Chain A
Amino acid sequence: MSSQEHYGSRFPYRLLVGVVTVVIFFLEAPLVILVIQSFTAESYLAFPPPSYGVRWYKEVLTSEDWLNSISLSLIIATIVTPLSLIFGTMAAFALDRGPKKLKNGLQAIMISPMVLPHIVLGLGLFKMALELDIDDSMLAYIPAHLTITIPFVIISVGASLQTFEVTLEEAARSLGASRFWAVWHITLPIIRPGLVAGAIFSFIISFDEFIITFFLTTFQRTLPIEMFSTLMYQVRPSIAAVSTLTLAVTAFLTAMLMLRGQITSGNKVIK
């Protein structure tokens, strides 16, 4: 009621709701269809499926190829996430506390992998990996993933640091904490929402990464690459099942991220 009064006329408000509904429908509908299809009991994809079952989930979770690629992706993301958090946080501190004059320039350089075409980045990293003879190995995947995950940590931690009251750190230091312990006991706990967001972003992005990894692999396959190769070969319901699993992991992490935001902003009032 009040929001309609706020807009003065009901028309723009209804238009807004209409547009948003259409956008959400077009974004979400393919996902919903895919999820439903993954529960087919047939050997082909159809919508709606003539009969339902978890046959394809069984197949995926017993297939060596799928399991290998899933575990490779999980291992990479699990190694990338803490490293990304550490380096990204250190960079965010440097930008926040360093000379103000350099801040904008340095930040632009550090977060540029976010906006650079990944295909160009992939090509560059591929040439380098070949030179160093580390292609098709963790030594290539992890630094490659870090180049694109670190910027997200820099941004999320940087935003937290911007609202952080530096006098809190100074108070801790005057109470006998060295700079390191002041940051450890005071700054990090207070900017935790930014750290958690950075970690979740890093995990999702690494788990999902395709283009750059594609340049660096020969025999090894991460999950997105395995999915891509399977698709090239034939469209089977197992793809839908894997997609649904991936979607579930990503959705779970995103939900945690959003929930955390609510919990922490509630924290400030109550706790």
Chain B
Amino acid sequence: MMVTGVTKRISAIKFAHLSPDEIRKMSATKIITADTYDDDGFPIDMGLMDPHLGVIEPGLRCKTCGKKVDECPGHFGHIDLAMPVIHVGYVKDIKKLLQSTCRSCGRLLLTGEQAAEYRKQRDRMEELGADMLDASMVSKDAAKDASSRTSCPHCATVQLKITLDKPTTFREEGHKLTPKEIRERLERVPDEDLISLGMDPSVSRPEWMILTALPVPPVTVRPSITLESGDRSEDDVTHKLVDVLRINQRLRENRDAGAPQLIVEDLWELLQYHITTYFDNQTSGIPPARHRSGRPLKTLVQRLKGKEGRFRSNLSGKRVNFSARTVISPDPMLSVNEVGVPIAAARELTVPIRVTDRNLAIGKEMCSRGPAPPGEDYRPGVNYVIRTDGRRIKVTDKNAETIAEGIEPGYMIERHLMDGDIVLFNRQPSLHRMSIMAHEVRVMPYKTFRFNLCVCPPYNADFDGDEMNLHVLQSEEARAEAKVLMRVQEHILSPRFGGPVIGGIHDHITGAFLLTHRDSKFSREETLKILEKVNIPDVPESDVEVNGKLYWSGKRLFSMILPKNLHMTFKSSICSRCDPCKKEECEFDSFVVVRDGKLITGTIDEKAIGAFKGRILDKLSRDYGPDGARAFIDASTKMSIGAIMVRGFTTGIEDEDIPDQAKREIDDAMVQARMKVEEHISAYRRGELEQMPGRSIEETLEVEIMKVLGKARDTAGQIAGRHLGMENSAVIMARCGARGSMLNLSQMAGAIGQQAVRGERLSRGYWNRTLPHFEAGDLGSEARGFIENSYKSGLSPTEYFFHSMGGREGLVDTAVRTSRSGYMQRRLVNALEDLKVMQDGSVRNTAGTIIQFMYGEDGTDPTRSVQGDAVDVDDVILCVLGNKGEHIAKVQEKGVVSYGIQDRDLLETPEEPESEEESDFDMSGGEEG
């Protein structure tokens, strides 16, 4: 394949060892003295700051290449070591080599045939295009095979056992091997034997793993900083090199002076220590080298490794300009497409504008305002002006006027953010594409980012201290692309399940419910209050009259924000699934009928406007496009908030109040359940319990008990539920899908029920019992974690403990699940990130090979399909024929889905995609605390 315009391309990268000769050859200077600067502050020649190693001070020129600061890349120097020293990074390889080669002749400890066999294996793997990892397995096998031999097949020398004393001491049967001896041995290994061990002798010789010369990195790699006091502060790497040089010097002097062997050996060991910590200051087995202050030095490995290392912190992730981060808070008066940006942030974030003939006047005006325009209203100013020659000028209050006068076409001005700018808004963890969306800026007072509550679900945001990031796009192309592809309104439908991810939550749903449930009506003032928020200037005609007073029905008001020709029929969340369904005559007002954009019957709740389930949102975004859906979401937010404010809505612990009579009934039910459990247990003890098929007798007992206790909890819930009607705020929230469930309520008012760990009744803790309060072997309900009390009545001490056991499991589960699914997501993303759908509908990778012949096998984009089908036939019929079509378009029918036939009620929303209901009120405590 030819790629035009490319003159050089990398076909391969090969890693090898530096030979001492190469180290000396690439060195700009030899370093011999540990001193850095002389008394006048000039770098000493052949010292660690030798000017041949590059320049860090502006104005000076490099003595090697003659270039200035930023132009000279820096040059390596070298230290000639008095005695050879082991490189810590290679101890494993050195060990392998020593063990698998002969101590006298240096040959690989394998016979000719064995070696040939391994070489053949290698060749075969290379031919098949196996990767490096597989190839390294072969050499590992060869080395293992060789090191298991006790005598050399070539010279018959008996091999001694080589051990490694971490980190860098090698012993042969207890006798210490000096690096010098090791180097001599490695020198003897012939080239052809190295290939079998996985080394390429043309570029790497094993003896090079024992250092005789140490490269000294350029000063640009370890710049010294001048403190305010005028003192110099050197880099940790420089400090370490000073140590190396000092000891190296002393070692050479002692050796040359013929000092006792013991002293030389001690110094040699010290040199080894300094060079080891120079490479890796966290080598296990030796104390890390420390700064005078006691802080461990950051040497070469520490610069690269870990989260703060070069790779993860500087190469995989970088800091970006034109971004902001702050706490988020809600604002229902904003459109879903907007984001509120605090003034302080807007004045820091800038958009580059190219000055042309046409915007010259505006540009000058804006610039003359300076970086902080005065006045009540926010007006964008300018922070920087970039001249045609590329010079960047900072605008200040003083020079603003002068700079403004000098502006001419071709200049760039970096103006403050203003209303309507397109920015990217993001909340971590960014798990799906809706985690980064494009918003339009609204500059606002105060210090938080604000957005419409309907956008909380895709970001998975709440306002308990969450922070979000904002990025300002810097080019026209980026802005255009973001506006078309990333705007919030383009992401109302999720690609995951084809339903809306942006929609009403909490009070938004409650408000819609209060507005439309049954025959709710609003007086003139109330109606005006609601419509004023939605910005509808014309009040419709009233449709309800009571005692001569005019009222507006909630359904009429809601119809005002529906598109004029909308036709829909579905069941709302509050539907109690009566059989047969009375449809329009439903006594709970749960059958939603919309004709010609008028809400005829039914209650608007979660099934209509909720995130994940909202049928109206679904329909609108398909039939009226993102613009239509956005307009509806914005209007419905404001209308719902208006309705809930007019009506007023509150909930408290009184909502779970039940009469004393009911409490007694619940107590009775609990006593009965307890007795029934006892009956089962005694039947089991007598051996009279009838065994269930496929279960042991103990399991049968457990199942029976769980059944009884489950029923008891339900009974308690039902008794409580009788006194919790639709006039109860908590019930309204649970039934219309705003927050909480009837189960939550029955646990608050009725009984909490059985606590479980791993799906079983609690059984562990003490020997044969859960707590010392019970007798060993007690199988009764109280002893095994059944909670008869409600959250409201309060728990007994043992119940409280059991509840904590059950709660703990939930927490552990979430913790384990998030870490595991995070890693799985990472692997999936790495595997799938460069696949794309081609023009012909096939999915291919970068090599052009087919992954899927047709995307999703049907070539359908889930966000453009109707519950998986390309066309919704019923909907088309209804749209064309209107009400007349209803008898043709069967509302309840057997949907034929591919090979199988499925019963499905088309009025029902398909199974909810989000199965796990996360709770903000769990026992874990605040996440920000």
The judgment on whether A and B are partners is no
**Which A residues lie at the B interface, using CB under 8 A?**
none
